[in-house]
Structure 1
């Protein structure tokens, strides 16, 4: 964990600064990053939350390749009009390939070769894969990178009613997913862009340095972040992306609407038969007729989410991780490595936490106490167990809540109860 004391000059936004300072990432090229061990743990924890919620709605995980044949994109009609963001190249046999920026074309090909009957529908498939879009101006660290990790899911239904049902199911799953990450999201009506389709929602969090601007009912600010939103509650409130905002079209008062900078962390689309018609992804319906399937597409930018979570959870000292995605739940700070009692207490707690499957980071460096405090406030573990010579002699451990700053003194025998009940 190569922690930096100085603020990197190239970092313009808070999340980029804190990710570099806490040793989460290292830039290898413009918009391309290595994820170091601390950062990778955050990615993996976010993936756990996503996969749990995808399983709850019956979405099946698979894995498609990063490299795609251009022939699929030519067949769908997207190859020439996607734009310069698509990275194209030739292999040694002069076949045109591309580094996938998205997977609608490929998943349609997978579907059409494996499912032929309405009896096998609905079907929802997803994967988690690195993608590449050759952004003209990568910036803000992993917030706007060229290479990024995405969860993209695709649903297939026999008719439009089924597709809308799948869409609404995933809408709720996204609300729950982001809630489980400790985020307060605002789902806004949005354009579908190059994906296509005529029903689209983006999921945003408010952030001072966000790239987007959204307009939303001020009542969103009063909705409790401690509970999951539902479609009825959300559907009654105005929330749109900037390009969809129109005061002259809607039953609302202008003084009820707020605008804020925001970060998009998820996007869902109803795309209908755009790809299934072009690529002949058809199934037999109940009357034996061949019909194109109705499709929806659902994306979450996982690597982008890490930065978004930090933008929403930090203070002047560093990151404040929500427990569900924190790289480590607990940091143990041994303030005196030359003290046998401090070493003994630290080792006992470390072993007990590991045995109880609580993720724990043990700081056994020779740094001074002030330096250790600064480091662990920076990296943001939800709890710090502080073990010093004076209190340690009486088996007392200081337990610091990183979010509130509150410190509680506990006998070592009571510390584990705190985390097993958390």
Structure 2
């Protein structure tokens, strides 16, 4: 970096170090007329360089660089297109391994889903009753058109639970975590029952009769619990970014979850699990022919590959292993193995589809399980985001339309 000159402008008193002048983050923000967090947006773009000086708290910045930015007419916004860097302590994805707060997710699959929720939320809140009474859930189901799917019920249940809570905008950590528990119970209670209700036991056991007509054996419920655990969070997926943006605007936790569910609703996110189910279901009769047809047409096989993972999806490996231990599902397992042999590795979407087919769940069950599981992650990210500066997500668009004369 070129030698820095002493500043001459009438700016805040600078920090003198080794013959050069520096300003603190707060001083830079004041000089440029921007927010403190926007200063770091310029750092991330390389337009400012942070420096550490012994005995001085926090980062400082050379006055020469600040003067250059000021002379360039910096406005009270970050550079165009900059989105805040999101620091999180929740989930890490490294070396094709998924960890929650430093614990490999594969080590948590035997833990109750609600215990994993508590781990991610950082609050030991007790299990809750559904905030929706039987009358409300009965009216909800009766009002739904025949075209409504399981995830539609989930979305409406979340909205109804929020509307029923006059204190829904509370953002204290333990209160938000408690409301997260209530949301999970509202969703479970609102879903229609396939076989007799189960009102005791783990969350997965109580959710089971909403999804499958088969008896809830320990191994089967264990697979469902593992699916919920493994899908609880996955760093900054599109739906999680949507949830954090809502939390940044200080939306209540019900609306944060609703924002996540809205983003999940696309075919490239939650809908990918439904596409995997349809493909796998069609492939059961002749897996080799199905895969051969896909290879011949050049179409990507749904439920394979991943943007983050390079060699394998650890969630799929763990879930498929538990499915094999649960017994049965020979045709499903053969189809999955044939698909895996086609080249790309199997991801969690296909593993969810395999679970649904093996346990005779409806076609949209994979997407519903995904959405219910991810509620835990969205609540966890809301808890983190509530501690960040509000409204920090404000990228500037690059206007390419017509200009006024």
TM-score, structure 2 as length reference: 0.25
Structure ranking higher on relative contact order (CA contacts 8 Å, 6+ apart)? 2
Q: Which has the higher strand share?
A: 1
